[in-house]
Structure 1
Amino acid sequence: MRVAVCQLNAREDRAANLAAAGELLEKAAASGADLAILPEYLDYLGPGAGAPKPEGTDGEFAGFFAAAARSLGMWVLAGSFHETGPDAERTYNTSLVFDRAGALAATYRKIHLYDVEIPGRVSYHESRSVAPGTETVVVDVEGVPVGLSICYDLRFPELYRRLAVAGAQVLVVPAAFMTHTGRDHWEVLLRARAIENQCYVLAAGQIGDHEPGRTCFGRSMVVDPWGTVVAQAPDTIGVTVADIDLERLAAIRQELPSLANRRL
C-alpha cells in the first residue's frame, strides 16, 4: 500500500482551505497513493468567533471529500472538521474516511480534549467548545486494518493499544501540533506509538502560522513498526509519500513478539 501524508496551512478561509486540500490530494493521487491523510481541522484554523457553522457527516465538507476520493480513485482520510455536536455550545472534532468510490467508510470523533489551568499563565479548556467522542474506530482499508486518532489523542497510549488489540496494523494521526510542543514531543510520541504497538504510524500535520498568534509544527511523517522514520515532510506545504511493507510488519511482530506477549 502506498500512503501519502498531506501537510497544509489551513486558516480562516474555509473555501481556500478545501481548495488547497483538494490540490494536495491530486498530487497524492499522481504519486500513486492508495490512501491519503489530511491534517486536523483542515476546514478552519483561526479565532473561535469566526469558526464556520458546524455540519453533519453528510454536509458540504463530507461531500467535497467524497467527490475527491471518487474522482481520484483513492482512499481519503479527510483530517478532521467541525461536526455538529450534541448541543448548541459544542461541536465534535471528527475524522471521515472515504473509499475509492467516495462512500463514507468510517467516522471517528476525537476522544481526548486538551484542558489546562495554570494560574497566572494559561487557561484553556477545549471541552467548553468540543464534545469528546466515545468510540474507538478501526477501519478496513482494502484488507489493512487502520486505527483512527486525532492530535492530542497521541499522548494517550492506551487508545493506541486498544486499536492494536482490535487488529490495527496502521495508526493514523491527523494533527495541528503547536511548535513549542511539536519540536520536543511530536516525533518521540509518534515513534513510541509505532514501537509499542508494532504498527505503521501515518501522521499528517498542519504547518505554519494561523490566528490567533499560533504556529503549527508540521513535520508530517511515516514511521514503521520498528520506530524508524521512513519518510518526513520538509517545513513547507506539500505531500510526502511512502510505501507500507506489510511483510516487514509481520516479520517484526514475529521476531519481537511484544504485542503477542502482553499480559494486561
Structure 2
Amino acid sequence: MTGLAVAAIQMRSGMDAAANIDTLRDLVAEAAGRGARYVQTPEMTGCLVRDRASLMAGLRTADDDPVVAAAAELAAAHEIYLHIGSTAVRIGDAAGASASGPVAANRAFVFGPDGRCQAVYDKIHMFDVDLDNGESWRESATYRAGEEMVTTRIDDTVFGLAICYDIRFPQLFRDQALAGASVLTAPAAFTRQTGVAHWHVLQRSRAIENGAFVISAAQGGDHEDGRETYGHSLIVDPWGRVLAEADGDEAGVVLAQIDPAESAAARRKIPNLKNSRTYRCAAPETEKTGGTMPAGTGS
C-alpha cells in the first residue's frame, strides 16, 4: 500500500510563547522520529491568552513571529511538512490599528521540507457564541475573518485547510473536496463543553460527507488563561472510522498511515460529490397563497 505517515500533535499551550515553542520542538521531534511526513499542531499553538490586552502586548506580524520562525526551522531540520494549525498574528499597521476593532488574524501556516512557507489560511468563521454556564466568546472582536478557501499539496496529495469552528460549516469542506482535496484538516482549541457534545460527530461527519480523511490536532486541558479545552486529537478515515485518537486531554502525538487511494475508493462507493444537484428553494405555502398555515401544522 502506498501511503503517507501523518501525525497530530496535542498541546496545552499557555500564555508564554517561548515555553510553547519549546513544547512544539519536543513534540515535532517525536513525531518526525516516529516517521511522520506530515505533522499538524493545534489552533493557537503559539499562545492561548483570553485577555485582549495581554494578547496584543505579545502580538507580532507573521514576518516577526517566533512561532512562525521556529516552525520553518523545524520543517527544514526534520525534512517534513509542518502544519501550524494556527497562531495569532498582527495584521496591518500596529500604530494605526483600532483599539476596539480586529487587529489580528487567526492564521494557519504550512511549511515544506525545505522550510519554506507554502500556504497560509486565515480562519473564516469567527467563534461568536454564548454557551451554558456563562461561557461566552467573541472572536470577531479581535480577529479579522478570512475570506479565501485554501488547499495545498503535501507530496502528491491535496489537503484542505480549516480551523476549529470552521468544522461546523460543511460547505467549506465540500468546496475543498470538489477542488480535489482528499485530506481535510480542522486543528482546534475546542471548548470542553462543546467538545464533549460534538467533537467526534463533527469530525466523522465531514469525513463521511466528503469521502476524505480528516486530521484535527487539538488543544487539551486546563489552560493558564482559565479556558478548558477538550483534547482528543483525531485522525479519521473516509468511511468515518477513527484511525488514531489522543488519550483524553494530555499533550502528546498520535500517528496514522493514510492512503489517499482510500478517498477515491470511498467516493466511488458513495458518489455524493458527483451526484450533488442544484435546486430551487420554494417559498413557504403562506407566501404563495397569502393565507395562514392550516391548523395543526407548523411548530
* TM bracket (short chain): over 0.9
Alignment-derived partner of residue 141 in structure 1 = 154
Q: Distance in 2 between matches of 1:93 and 1:209?
A: 21
Alignment-derived partner of residue 120 in structure 2 = 107
How many aligned residue pairs are there? 264
Letter in 1 for 2:262: R
Q: Distance in 1 between matches of 2:233 and 2:31?
A: 14
- 5+ residue gaps in structure 1? none
Aligned counterparts, 1:186-225, within 5 A: 186-225=199-238
What is the CA distance between 1:251 and its match in structure 2? 1.3
Alignment-derived partner of residue 6 in structure 1 = 9
- 5+ residue gaps in structure 2? 279-299
Aligned counterparts, 1:11-160, within 5 A: 11-48=14-51, 49-51=53-55, 52-59=57-64, 60-86=66-92, 87-88=97-98, 89=101, 90-116=103-129, 121=134, 123-160=136-173
SS in 2 for 1:78: strand
SS in 2 for 1:205: coil
Deviations 1:89-132 (A, max 9, x none): 42000000000010101000000001235899455321111110
Identity of aligned residues (%): 39
What is the CA distance between 1:55 and its match in structure 2? 2.3
More deviation in 32-41 or 110-119? 110-119
Deviations 1:176-228 (A, max 9, x none): 00111101100000000000011100010001111432211000010001111
Q: Distance in 2 between matches of 1:239 and 1:74?
A: 15
What is the CA distance between 1:69 and its match in structure 2? 0.2
CA RMSD between the two structures: 1.7
Aligned counterparts, 1:227-246, within 5 A: 227-235=240-248, 236-246=250-260
More deviation in 81-90 or 70-79? 81-90
* Cα 1:256–1:111 shift into 2, 3 Å: same
Alignment-derived partner of residue 262 in structure 1 = 276
Letter in 1 for 2:46: D
Q: Distance in 2 between matches of 1:99 and 1:144?
A: 13
* Cα 1:143–1:93 shift into 2, 3 Å: same
TM-score normalised by length of structure 2 = 0.84
Letter in 2 for 1:16: A
What is the CA distance between 1:45 and its match in structure 2? 0.8
Q: Distance in 2 between matches of 1:120 and 1:73?
A: 45
What is the CA distance between 1:56 and its match in structure 2? 2.6
Q: Distance in 1 between matches of 2:109 and 2:48?
A: 18
More deviation in 8-17 or 51-60? 51-60
Contact 1:84 1:92 in 2 (8 A): yes
Q: Distance in 2 between matches of 1:127 and 1:42?
A: 19
Contact 1:47 1:211 in 2 (8 A): no
Deviations 1:123-153 (A, max 9, x none): 5321111110101100011111000000011
Contact 2:7 2:36 in 1 (8 A): yes
Alignment-derived partner of residue 193 in structure 2 = 180
Letter in 1 for 2:226: G
SS in 1 for 2:209: helix
Give the number of the structure whose alpha-carbon radius of gyration is greater: 2
Q: Distance in 2 between matches of 1:171 and 1:148?
A: 7
